[in-house]
Amino acid sequence: MADSNIENSSKREFLQFSGKAGLSTMVATAAGVNLGLVDLVHAQPGKKVTPFRFAVISDSHLYSFKDHKFDTQLMDAIEQVNNLPVKPDFVLYGGDIAQDGTMDQLEKGKKILSNIKSKMVIIPGEHDWYVDMGTGWNGLYGANNPESGQRKGRKEYWSFDHKGVHFVGLNNILVDDFWTAQKMTGVERQTHMSMLEGPWGGLWGIHAEQLAWLKKDLAKQSTDTPIVLFSHAPLWDYYPRWGFGTSDGAEIRAMLARFENTFSFHGHVHQTIYNKIGNMSSVGAMSTSWPWPYPDVELAFPQSRQYRADPGNEADGMGSYYADITPAGINVQHQPFADSLTPWMKNGFKA
Ligand SMILES: [Fe+2]
Ligand SMILES: [Fe+2]
């Protein structure tokens, strides 16, 4: 009985906090503040958490050309996170390090990413995977990830605990085999999967093996442990036509339903986007390569979007972000390379 009282009271506090934060978001939007730069994630991670910071870099889409501008832009993002006044405990790379999934591009990415001065964890994007179904990617990057030695050959999804938070990395860009019947080569398969509206793959997901693993992994966690998931594509149906979603997102969210606080951080959309579905708050990352336009989708929850990137400024609308996790909330600070409308706010750590 005592336990259930504690649980009820903590859920009440969470709801109150959500209400206040939602209101302040709407007021700030009305005042014309560019909330794309600072997203307060509307939830309270709980008293178990020791404050810390992590950073996210995503979607570099490196080409095989020597000294391509996307190489420099990835390095710019690495400089941003290396120069943070408070060092992140780790940096997540959110997928799509390569444009065409070839070994030279994956290797170039590994070399550039080695300049990150914090520990790095990484998940794949669809541009990294389909030439050889992840063999090259796992060979190069799998060893960066927790549990890499424990599940031989399957190193792209993982979990670890850090300062009171349970982190999970997923590979959610898996589709059913459409290539064998069509006798496609690996390069043809990758070319198809790199299309924004490819007709054959359908919406990708994490599929049966990872669903079973995730169920087992989450079963060990108590309901008051904050759960943070990293995936390449959003875990909610944002705009499935462009692959902005996960086919088994609803099953994943059902597994998360018993937890008080769950957060999802994703790449792939190349824009700042915030949403909340059930108990899962979700934040999307700017890319380091190019900004996608916003699809014409209304979101149910009060939303914060960056203003359109300035087409006259080629560094606009791209960058990295960091998140400060404290018992009072998660603060996500987007760091655009350039922003013609709102200056980059160099915030200190507000624990
Ligand atoms: Fe991407
Ligand atoms: Fe992607």
Write the pLDDT tens digit of every residue in 5-64. Answer: 323 333 322 222 232 333 333 323 323 333 334 455 656 777 789 999 999 999 999 999
229 pLDDT more than 90 = yes
Judged by average pLDDT, the poorest of 138-152, 187-201, 245-259 is 138-152
CA of 7 relative to ligand 1 center, distance in Å: 39
Task: Please report which ligand is nearest the Cα atom of 287.
Answer: 1
Task: Please report which ligand is nearest the Cα atom of 290.
Answer: 1
pLDDT score for 16: 26
Comparing 155 with 132, the larger pLDDT belongs to 132
CA of 49 relative to ligand 2 center, distance in Å: 31
CA of 266 relative to ligand 2 center, distance in Å: 10
pLDDT band at 304 (very low <50, low <70, confident <90, very high): low
pLDDT score for 309: 61
DSSP-based three-state secondary structure for 141: helix
Q: What is the DSSP string of 270-325?
A: -S-EEEEETTEEEEEPP-SS-PPPPPS---SS----PPPP-TT-TTBT-EEEEEEE
List the one residue out of 41, 40, 80 whose CA is nearest residue 57.
80
189 pLDDT more than 60 = yes
- Range 126-155 burial, b when 16+ CB lie within 10 A, else e: bbbbbbbbbebbbebbbebbbebeeeeebb
pLDDT band at 149 (very low <50, low <70, confident <90, very high): confident
Give the rounded percent of residues in the chain with a pLDDT score beyond 70.
Answer: 80
Section 78-101 average pLDDT: 97
pLDDT band at 307 (very low <50, low <70, confident <90, very high): low
CA of 159 relative to ligand 1 center, distance in Å: 23
Name residue 320's amino acid.
Answer: S
Interatomic CA distance for residues 125 and 59, integer angstroms: 8
CA of 331 relative to ligand 2 center, distance in Å: 25
pLDDT score for 8: 35
Section 96-115 average pLDDT: 98
Judged by average pLDDT, the poorest of 2-6, 87-91, 270-274, 289-293 is 2-6
CA of 126 relative to ligand 1 center, distance in Å: 8
CA of 328 relative to ligand 2 center, distance in Å: 32
Contacts of 97 (CB under 8 A, 6+ apart): 60, 61, 62, 105, 106, 109, 110, 113, 122, 125, 127, 128
Section 148-173 average pLDDT: 89
**Which residues does residue 239 pair with via DSSP β-bridges, in sequence order?**
244
| Residue with the two structure tokens 């170039």 | 108
Which fold, 37-336?
A: Purple Acid Phosphatase; chain A, domain 2 (3.60.21)
CA of 51 relative to ligand 2 center, distance in Å: 30
List the one residue out of 175, 169, 86 whose CA is nearest residue 130.
175
Task: Please report which ligand is nearest the Cα atom of 59.
Answer: 1
CA of 173 relative to ligand 2 center, distance in Å: 8
* Mean pLDDT of all residues belonging to the chain: 83
pLDDT band at 214 (very low <50, low <70, confident <90, very high): very high
Provide the Cα torsion 20, 22, 23, 27; round to 10°.
140
CB atoms within 10 A of CB 320: 27
CA of 60 relative to ligand 1 center, distance in Å: 7
| Ion ligand 2 residues within 5 Å by Cβ | 96, 125-126, 268
pLDDT score for 306: 61
Section 108-137 average pLDDT: 97
| Residue with the two structure tokens 């597994």 | 255
CB atoms within 10 A of CB 292: 18
Interatomic CA distance for residues 140 and 163, integer angstroms: 28
Alpha helices in the chain (DSSP H): 2-30, 69-82, 103-113, 126-129, 135-141, 186-193, 207-219, 249-256
Task: Please report which ligand is nearest the Cα atom of 204.
Answer: 2
pLDDT score for 30: 29
CA of 267 relative to ligand 1 center, distance in Å: 7
> Domain coordinates of the chain in residue numbers?
37-336
